[in-house]
Chain A
Amino acid sequence: MTAFRHTLMGRLMADPLAVFAMAIIALLVVSALLADVIAPHDPAAMNLVDRFSPPSSTYWMGTDNLGRDTFSRLLQGGRIALYVALTAVTISGLIGLVLGMLAGFGPRWLDNALLFFFDTLRAYPTIILALALAALMPRGLSTVIIVVVITSFAEYGRVVRTQTLSLKNSEFILAERAMGASFARIVFHHILPNVLGPFFILAAMNLPVVITIEAGMSFLGIGVPPGTPSWGATLKDGFDYIRTTPWILISGGLPLILATLGFTFLGEALRDQLDPRLRKTR
């Protein structure tokens, strides 16, 4: 049994930034899960008497134009952000994993075709494609997820392909083949575990990007349906009243910044730990 400090978790705990990142993520996850319990007010309840209240002991982050409690809405927004991020990253990751391994293992023409496909998808600027598709599709979380999947699975595909290609011709795979190992054994026992390291780093780095896209689309009014307490929707409310009630904008941006910082720092720390080449040079 290895000592704790030599395990991945142990090494992460030794990195102050990683600890900071994990603390932020834990805070976000817990507050999203317990949003209903923690929220001091009903996030949808309108209270026109108290509209545009500045932050106070009753309304910690003030209220918006309809007198809804900003803090309670942000807690609910965390749920939406995490739900979209996890779903979209899982779907695009799986598609990228399958296509990337196909490209790496398949015949030359299939590899070239898939590479061209990936390059074509990367040519769409995400938010601009989101706007174009939003014009055609109903407003809602599934539209957000579809846009994210379309614009991001190519990246997973490329990383998995490169990794598969370099592994395919490595000596231990050739040895396995010479010993008559089945295709499935080579893929699932040898290639897959080795591909997963870079794959998870990319996924961790992609979570904040997806959270930002969801908030951005909701800010533009092409994300969540009207009235849904997404972080982006709160930012839009804040933007509309930027001169009179800046606290809506300020508090709307905070969870988004915390979430992206947390996931990015964690992704960085994971990469430093999981990529042995990087560990040596540090």
Chain B
Amino acid sequence: MLRYTIQRIILALAIVFFAISALYAVMVTLPGDPTTVLLGPRATAEIRADFRERAGLDNPIHVQIAHFWGRILTGDMGTDFNRNRPVAESVFSALPHTVALVFGAIFWSATLGILLGAFSADNRGSFLDRITGVLSVAFIAAPSFVVALYSLLVFAVWLRWFPTIGAGEPGDIVSRLYHLALPSFAIGLAWVGYVARIVRASMLEALGENYIRTARAFGLPRRTVIYNYALRVAILPAVQVLGVGIGGMLSSAVFAEIVFSRPGLGSLIYDSVSGRNYPVVMGAMLVAIGFFVTCALIADLINAALDPRHRSQR
């Protein structure tokens, strides 16, 4: 397990390194003055000259990438010229909002998805099982930003059950959660479908296993067998799917943050793109990719720890 963990961590670091380096290379090799691209239009001539020297823009591309990572490793992600503060500050003040949003979405999809999936497996072949199956596919198909827009219209604008904008009062946990409910639901809905299907399939598989038959033969209550024994095993594959799904959720979070006017990585990147504020774009990309790769890694390791068969597979 230790060897597997180390292998996976190295792979994850390599992926982040290459993904970001490639993006940086594209940014500096595009036609035009790379200082405009990397510093934004508001940078003064002095800053440009200084940066040109520090970043070694006259050097070959691989040296520039080395310089870039050298700066990142010392904690210097550049300067956010529009807000006049370090990029790291902008990015890390936005990150918690996006993380909360993504975990809110995971909460929705895990609770609703596991309930639906377990219910379907328990009532296999029934009319309600068919309905749940169709609903799951419909949830998967529904574009999350349309779900966000429609739920904003129905629950916030028409019914006024939920607030339309913002992330709530700082420090007030109830207000925060209240503002989080609708946007995280919009992101999570698609994953309700995925989780429900996977839980249903793996639970049906688990229900056919010998230990379940034994538990039944011993006269344990049906409910205990299904919801305690079978479900426990059936949740595992859902963990993996949600871990990998965080990449998709980060994309959906961009829309949820814009539709519900919430702060976060998505709206930060969106604002920075329209303001040509490239250092922030680069920093936010780095953090977003790092967050996604870390989550996928953790999901992978949890699975490997719980199911040793997983370690030998690629």
State the A residues within 8 Å of B (CB).
17, 115-116, 119-129, 131-136, 208, 212, 215-216, 219-222, 235, 238-239, 242-243, 246, 249-250, 253, 256-257, 260-261, 263-265, 268
Contacts and interface: CB of A to CB of B under 8 A. Distances in A.
Q: Indicate the member of B23, B157, B273 with the most A CB atoms within 10 Å.
A: B273
B61 interface: no
B293 A123 contact: yes
B273 A238 contact: no
Interface string B19-50: 10011001100100000010000000000000
B289 A256 contact: no
Interface string B61-77: 00000000000000000
A63 B281 CA distance: 36
A215 B145 CA distance: 9
A260 B138 CA distance: 9
A219 B18 contact: no
B6 to A, nearest CB: 17
Contact of A123 (B247, B272, B274, B278): B247
A219 B273 CA distance: 14
Contact of A122 (B26, B37, B247): B247
17 contacts: A116-B18, A119-B15, A122-B247, A125-B250, A127-B255, A127-B266, A128-B269, A128-B288, A132-B273, A134-B273, A135-B281, A136-B26, A219-B145, A253-B146, A257-B141, A257-B146, A265-B137
A242 B292 CA distance: 32
A154 B240 CA distance: 19
A131 B269 contact: yes
Interface string B176-213: 00000000000000000000000000000000000000
A38 B18 CA distance: 49
A128 B15 contact: no
Given A243-B157, A249-B153, A264-B137, A127 B142 contact: no
B259 interface: yes
A239 B288 CA distance: 26
Given A127-B251, A131-B254, A235-B149, A246 B157 contact: yes
B143 interface: yes
A132 B23 contact: yes
Contacts of B265: 128
A260 B254 contact: no
Nearest to B16: A123
Contacts of B149: 235, 238-239, 242, 249, 253
Contact of B278 (A17, A135, A253, A256): A135
A210 to B, nearest CB: 11
B302 interface: no
Interface of B: 11, 14-16, 18-19, 22-23, 26-27, 30, 37, 134, 137-138, 140-143, 145-146, 149-150, 152-153, 157-158, 247-248, 250-252, 254-255, 258-259, 265-266, 269-270, 272-274, 276, 278, 281-282, 284-285, 288-289, 292-293, 314
B251 A264 contact: no
Contacts of A263: 141
Nearest to B265: A128
A208 B141 contact: yes
Nearest to B142: A257
A120 B145 CA distance: 26
A136 B266 CA distance: 17
B250 A128 contact: yes
B15 A123 contact: yes
B42 to A, nearest CB: 15
Contacts of B272: 135
B258 A256 contact: no
Nearest to B293: A123
Contacts of B15: 116, 119-120, 123
B140 A264 contact: yes
A132 B258 contact: no
B254 A242 contact: no
A220 B250 CA distance: 15
Nearest to A133: B26
Nearest to A134: B273
A148 to B, nearest CB: 12
B152 to A, nearest CB: 7
Contacts of A256: 143, 146
Nearest to A127: B251
A219 B292 contact: no
A97 B205 CA distance: 32
Contacts of B19: 120-121, 123-124
Contact of A125 (B138, B146, B288): B288
